[in-house]
Copies of this chain bind each other. A is one copy, B any other.
Amino acid sequence: MRIEVCHSPELIHLFDLSGKIAVVTDILRATSCMVAGIGSGAEQIVPVAQKEEVNPYKEKGFVTAGERGGEKIEGFDIGNSPFEHMEIAQKGKSVVMTTTNGTVAITKSAVEAKQVIIGAFLNISSVVQYLKESGKDIVIVCSGWKGMFSMEDTLFAGALVDRLESVAEIVDDAALSSMSLYRAVSGDLLGYMQNASHAKRLSGLKAVKDLEYCMTKDEFDVIPVLKDGALVKM
């Protein structure tokens, strides 16, 4: 069982994902929304890379969810606050979703990986348990921010490696350093995150509430998994 960390979808071509589980993460906020949505009863969430791709699903009655640059896309039903996704999901709806970074990371990972699962702090213990039981090699794919390294995804990657280190071989420097960073700042994760660039981009009470929620561990015990192009409950 080997574990690697890919810091950006722009680096994914350097990784061999075949036969491996890709754990895609975009803490702020795509994969947090997906966990919150599926965990609250959404039937399926279809991730698409381009906003035009939502149209055929919209015609079939899917809720449209999407953001670009952190803002809800005009004309879409909801944006990417986990609270919106929980509210929608309680009605058992199907959702089609496109985001700046997260859905790109999912679609890129899906090309080669044996399985694509969705990780967030909100379901971290379930993800750890599943990965331990599977025994498969793992690549944690951070969505980053417009191709750049992102703090929140790296901290989540580090938290996963931290919990898997006893059973998995750390393959690359990205995994080792993410774990070290997580361990160094885990005593005040939220405080540390306030200095990260994404936190500085967020403004308003709602966004701050989102950030705090997205850094919360184990609100859900579900793992969204990609099946035939849709994220469903494993």
Contact = CB atoms under 8 A, between A and B. Distances in A.
Contacts of A126: none
A36 B186 CA distance: 39
A92 interface: no
Nearest to A174: B149
A185 B196 contact: no
Interface residues of A, number: 30
Identical chains in the assembly: 2
A184 to B, nearest CB: 4
B184 A172 contact: no
Nearest to A5: B149
A147 interface: yes
Contact of A177 (B10, B151, B172, B173): B151
Contacts of A185: 180
Chain A residues touching B, majority SS = helix
Nearest to A149: B174
A172 to B, nearest CB: 6
A168 to B, nearest CB: 14
A7 interface: yes
A150 interface: yes
A148 B176 contact: no
Interface of A: 5, 7-8, 10-11, 14, 145-151, 154, 171-174, 176-177, 180-181, 183-185, 192, 195-198
